Structure 1
Amino acid sequence: MPCDGVRITVLDENFIDILLPSTSRVTRYGMDQHFNSKYGEILAENGLCFYVETFSAGTVTTVLFDAGLTAPVVLHNAALLGIDLADVDAVVLSHGHPDHTGGVIGVLEAIGHPVPVIVHPDAFDPRMIVKPYVTLPMINIGLNRERVERAGGGLIQARGPIQLGPGLFTSGEMETAFDFELEAPTGRWCVHADGAVEPDDINDHQVLGIDIAGVGVLVIDPCGHRGIVSSTEHMRKLLSNETIYGVMGGFHTGHPGISAHRIENTARRLAEYSPQLIAPMHCSGFPLKRAVAEVAPDAFELITAGSVITVGEVPPQTRKLQTSSVRIN
């Protein structure tokens, strides 16, 4: 059963832009708030965190999808936007990279009550990046099961999809279905539970799919490690809905060395769904944003930290902007 509507608040993202106007589907934290000392500034950093509310028959399911790079930024922005993290029903971690999990301990502590944490079991495997000039050992050193559980997280380590509410599903493991999406940065390694050291295929990567009545499927892919087109196809089949309303998140096309071939094919294939929303964020990069804006100008949307996206039947937003209790100097 689909949900009636969804409201997504971006609590962490790489960018802010106080000059972007609000639209019929996106409400932004703009200049009037940013320069008002009563509220303060929205913060941005290299990470992602989505506060997702789905509505169905008078009920609401609230999920925090990823936890940003650092908890103080997530908590600061949540406070400014009038969000009470105690309302969170579940936390979903897309994969075990620090720009998506770095804030999870502080966020769980702020939630203040035991909450399920849905994550692929391989997200906890030690990971490293090896380049000719530097090695970054165990980039996810802050993510471990014991710390999550001590902070109040009840771990649900799943390889398959999980339904979180009406029309709201995690993807589970996915395959890259298109050759052009196999292109990826090199030098990523992981140590598996059995001790094997292997190239990191990031098979723990998961996305969120939302089936909205009368609208279609909205896919949130935080980092595009399987390819945004592949993950969109996966969720379309999982939810048995051919209509894609939109895709948003990090599409993993912003790294040095990503070819124009991948960028052009990604933009073209996304446009072929005839979606109403395409919002490249985080690791998508300017060339992909430009390509999407050219092939699907009506669907293209810039989403920044503090943005609120509403789709379908959503009750009026009643929360008020607040003065943040967390300050970063």
Structure 2
Amino acid sequence: MYTDIKTILDDAVKNHYAVLAGGAFNLETIRGLLGAAHDEQAPVIILTGQNMIKRHAHTEIIVPMVKELAEETNVPVALVLDHGRDWNMITQTFRAGYSSIMIDASAYEMKENIERTRKVVDLCHVQGGAVEGELGHVGQAASLDGCDASMYTRPEEVMEFLAATHVDSLAIACGTAHGKYPQGFVPTLNFDLIRTVRSMTGVPLALHGTSGAGDENIRKAVEAGINKVNVATDIFCCCRDKTKQMLEEDPDYDYIQLCIDVEKECRKICRRFIRLTGSSGKAANFHKTFDFDRSQNRGLLDEGE
């Protein structure tokens, strides 16, 4: 079931859970993510960032792939341009069939952020698309700037931003950061900030930079009011490490089987994150029609674990 983030996340707000938004850029990661969602009967969001699209995940290939696979499962599936900053990229992906756009103008002052975000909302809403904006700025894990409270979302700005932009969901900054944290580092999240923003608005809240944040932080963030949990680095590292392990064990590993086994590993880690979000079983809130594994004769997916 191909849909948008508004449809998915409005239900998450209503029923107090979060949804995994997983980074995916090729057949193996997309099928791993959707297979995990089907196994858990959970709504799911697929993320492709600007750099992924430029380097590998070309829209003319990704959109038909996601739409085709989404029709083979009863779980709601949304495809999102993540951290769209370039107007040409935003319009290209939306016109290609992305159901949702995440516009990241968080590096600008409030006025400029509002103007850039509203421009994307005006583009998408008239054609039935959904938009996520960012208030505060989620930085980079390698530099530990997620620890910089000056970059956090300011609750006193939230209602002004929402009223001026009409976004369908809001990414907030509260202690996480994008990428891979230094070895042994676990971020400290400001759960009071999440609770404060949640109490102010019914708009779905997104937590970016969740890779490496730790299971307990994710659970507490969802309890505090987060509805969308973005994970990319952990998924990609898992797939890379599985590939490395298999080739170290057998340098002559069959390449087709390697791709199949990496997909299974992706499916496994995504199931774990889905369970942390509390979205398992929530596809029942939408509708039930298809069987994702009905195409097993095409080798689409092995049966879930």
- TM-score where L is the length of structure 2: 0.38
Structure of higher RCO (CA pairs closer than 8 Å, 6+ residues apart): 2
- TM-score where L is the length of structure 1: 0.36
